[in-house]
Structure 1
Amino acid sequence: MSPLWARLDIRHFVSLSAVVRTGSFTAAAESLGYTQSAVSQQIDRLEKLINGRVVNRSVGGRPVSLTPAGRVLMEHAATLTSTLQELADEVLALSQGQPRVLRVGCFESVGANLLPAALAGFVRAFPDIRVELTELPDDGDLLERLERDELDLTFVVFPLPEGPFEARALLEDPYVLVAAEGSALAQADGPIVLDDYPDIRLMTYAELRPVHSMVSRVGRPSYAERVVFRSNHTATLLSLAAEGHGVAFVPRLAVEQFRPGIRIIELARVSPRIIGIAWRHHQVLSEPAAAFVQAAEANADRMSARTS
C-alpha cells in the first residue's frame, strides 16, 4: 500500500457517505453535527489523497453527484461504515459482559435434528444474540476451527482427537442400515448382525475423521471392500438406498424416519456414536455459550427419552 493511501481516514468516508446521502455539504454537516467547512475539508483532503475529484459540486440547486472515482469509494464506504457499526455494537456488548454473536459448528445430522429445538430454547433466553452457524461434514474440521478461535462451540463425536478441547456428552446415536422398502433385507427382523449378510452392497460416508468410519464401528477392515458408494451427504445415501443401489450404513439421527421408499433396520454388535458439544480448554464460557450448552443438553435429554 502506498503511503498516500495509508493516510486515508475513516472520517473521509463518513463525510462522503453523508454528502451523498443528503445531497449537499450543508445538509451533510447538519446530519453529522459538524460545521459545513469541516465536511468540505474532509472531502478536499480525500480528493488530494487520491489525486482526483470524488464529487461533482452542486450547481444551480442540483444535488451533489459522484464522479466515477467517488462511486468506487462509496462502495467501500458502505462496507466500512457497516463494519464499524457492527464493531461498535459488539464492543459495547462485550463491555456489558456478553458477546453479540455466538459462533457454533455442527454437522448435517445434528443440524437437521438436534440443533433446531436447542436453538429455539436458546433464542428465547437470548433474543439479542445472533447465532452464526458453520456446518461441515467432518467434525475434525470443526475442531480445527475451534482451536483457531473461529468458533465458540461445536458439536462433536466422541472420542475427540488430542487438542485443547473440553466437551460434554449429549446423547448416544446408534448406527442403522437403510434399505429399499421392497428389498429382501427390508423384511429382516432387527436388530441384525452385519456378519450374517455378507452379500449386501454397502454405502457409507466418504473420508471423515476415523471415529466416523464404518470400519471403526464394525471392527472389520475387510468391510471397506464391500462399500460400493460413498458420500458425505446423507440425503444422497438415502436416495440411493431407496432406489436399491445398495444399503446405507448411517447413524440413526441422520435418517428421516418417515422418508418414503426406505426401511430402517437396527444393528447389533455395532457401537453407537456419542454426540457431544465442545469448546476450548480452560475457556470460561460466556453466559450465552453456557446457555447454549444447557439448551443442547435439555433437547438431547428429550430426544433420548423419546427413543428409550
Structure 2
Amino acid sequence: MKRDLSTIELRYLSALIAVHREGSFSRAAESLGYTQSAVSQQIARLERGIGHQLVERPGGPRPVSLTGAGQVLLRHADAIVARLSSAAADLESLDKGTAGTLRIGCYQSVGVRILPRVMRQFATTYPGVAVQLVENEDDGELLRQVERGELDLTFVVAPLPAGPFDSEELLEDPYVAVVRADSPLTRHGTHVTLDELDGTPLISYAQVREAHLIENRLGRPSLREQIVFRSNDNGVILGLAAEGVGAAVIPWLSVDPHRQGIRVLQIAGVGRRVIGIAWHRDRYQIPAAHAFIDLAHSVARDEEVTMRIDLSPDEARRVTGDG
C-alpha cells in the first residue's frame, strides 16, 4: 500500500519521540509545552497518516509503549529531527559568519594538555567568537551531539563509529603504565610489556566507548580481571597509582608530568590511540572552525615533541636536532 506522507508534520514526529522518551502522554505534553489532548491528537493524526497503530495505550498507571510500527518510525523520526536541528544550526552559523559561538566537545586528557594552548591562540585570532566547551569522557556521546547539531567540532579517539562525520588525525598517544616510584615494575627501565603486567592490579578509565576500554584497546580481554578500580578522573587515577594501589594503564596525555611519586613506563608492543578532531560532514562550518582545527594541529605537533622528550629523550634529540 502506497502511503501519502505529505500530511505528516514535524510536530507529530516530535510528539512520538516525546511519548517514547517519557512513557506517558501527560509527561510528553509537559516536556513539549502542549496540553495532553494536543499530544494525543498529534499521535492520532500521525497514526492515520501512517496507516498503523504506533502507540500501545494500556490505560491506568501502566506506561505507554510503542508498537513494532512505532519503533520503526521512531528510528526515522530521530534522524529527521536531528537533521532539521542540524539545518537550523547551519543557518545560524551562516548568519553569524565569524562571530557568535563555536561549540567544542572534549574529554579530560585533551582538555588538560591540548585545549588550553589552542584556546589561547584562538582567542587572539578570533576575539569575536566565544567558545562553548562541552566535556564528556564518552566521545561517542560527543559525536551524537555533533550529529544533532549541538556541537560544531569535537575531539575524538579513532576509530569513529558510523555516522555523518569527517575527521582529521592530530597525534598518536602511546599507552603507559603509571606506577608508584618504588614499584618493582620500575626495574624494567622505561618500558614494560603486557606480560610483565600480568597479575598486577590495574587502574583505568570507566565511562568510555566499549572500543576504548583498555582491555579492548590493548587486545587482551583478560586484563579486565586485573582491573581493581575504574575512574574518569585523571587525578584520582594517578593518586591511586602514586599510593601503590595498582598500575594505572592510561594514555600518555592523561599523565600529569609534574606529579610527584610516580614513574611512567611506556607499554611496549601495543598500538597507540589516535587523537583526532571531527565534525558533521554535511554542515556549514564558519571560518573560525577551520582555524580552530589548524591550531589544534599545530599544538598537537608541539605535544608530540614533548612526548618524545618525556618518554625517549635520545630519540627526541634526534628529532629536534638538539645535542
* Fold shared per TM-score above 0.5: yes
> Once superposed, what is the RMSD of the aligned Cα atoms?
2.0
How far is the alpha carbon of 1:197 from its aligned partner?
Answer: 3.1
2:260, 2:299 → 1: CA distance? 26
- The alignment of Structure 1 onto Structure 2 pairs a total of residues equal to 220
Residue 237 of structure 2 is matched in structure 1 by 237
Any idea what the Cα deviations from partners look like across 1:272-298, whole Å, max 9, x if unmatched?
110000000222321011111111111
What is the distance in 2 between the residues matched to 1:224 and 1:92?
46
Asked whether the equivalents of residues 185 and 192 of structure 2 are also in contact (C-alpha less than 8 Å), the reply is no
Task: State the alpha-carbon separation in 2 of the partners of residues 97 and 190 from structure 1.
Answer: 49
Letter aligned with residue 142 of structure 1: L
In the other structure, the counterpart of 1:128 is 128
| Equivalent residues of 1:218, 1:269 under 8 A apart | no
Partner of 1:139: 139
Is the CA contact 2:171–2:301 (under 8 Å) kept in the aligned structure 1?
yes
SS of structure 2 residue aligned to 1:144: helix
Bigger drift between 157-166 and 214-223 goes to: 214-223
The Cα offsets for residues 124-143 of structure 1, whole Å up to 9 and x where unpaired, read as 11011100000111111111
Per-residue Cα deviation, 1:15-39 (whole angstroms, up to 9, x for no partner) = xxxxxxxxxxxxxxxxxxxxxxxxx
CA contact 2:137–2:207 (8 Å) conserved in 1: no
The structural deviation recorded for 1:96 is 5.6
Residues 1:193 and 1:282: Cα distance change in structure 2 (over 3 Å): same
Secondary structure of the equivalent of 1:161?
A: coil
1-structure distance, mates of 2:134, 2:118: 16
* Counterpart residue type for residue 143 of structure 2: L
Q: Which residue of the partner structure matches residue 264 of structure 1?
A: 264
Task: Tell which structure's C-alpha radius of gyration is larger.
Answer: 1
- What residue number does 2:305 align with? 305
- Which amino acid in structure 2 is aligned with residue 171 of structure 1? L
TM-score (normalizing by structure 2) = 0.65
**Aligned letter for 2:224?**
A
The aligned runs of 1:171-250 (5 Å cut-off) are 171-250=171-250
2:282 corresponds in structure 1 to 282
Shift of the 197–141 alpha-carbon distance from structure 1 to 2, 3 Å rule, reads same
Measured in 2, the distance between the counterparts of 1:187 and 1:137 equals 33
- For residue 97 of structure 1, report the CA deviation from its aligned partner: 2.5
1:139, 1:155 within 8 Å by CA — same for their partners in 2? yes
CA offsets per residue over residues 156-193 of structure 1, 9 Å max, x none?
Answer: 00000001111010000001000011221133213221
In structure 1, stretches of 5+ residues that fail to align are 2-90
Residue in 1 that maps onto 2:294 = 294
Cα deviation, residue 254, structure 1: 0.6
Aligned to 2:195, the other structure's residue is in SS state helix
The answer to whether the Cα contact below 8 Å between 2:107 and 2:155 also exists between their aligned partners in 1 is yes
> Structure 1 residues 281 and 92, CA, compared in 2 at 3 Å: closer, same or farther?
closer
Q: Secondary structure at the match of 2:114?
A: helix
Gaps of 5+ in 2: 1-28, 30-90, 309-323
Aligned letter for 1:217? R
In structure 2, relative to structure 1, the CA distance for the partners of 1:282 and 1:234 (3 Å cut) is same
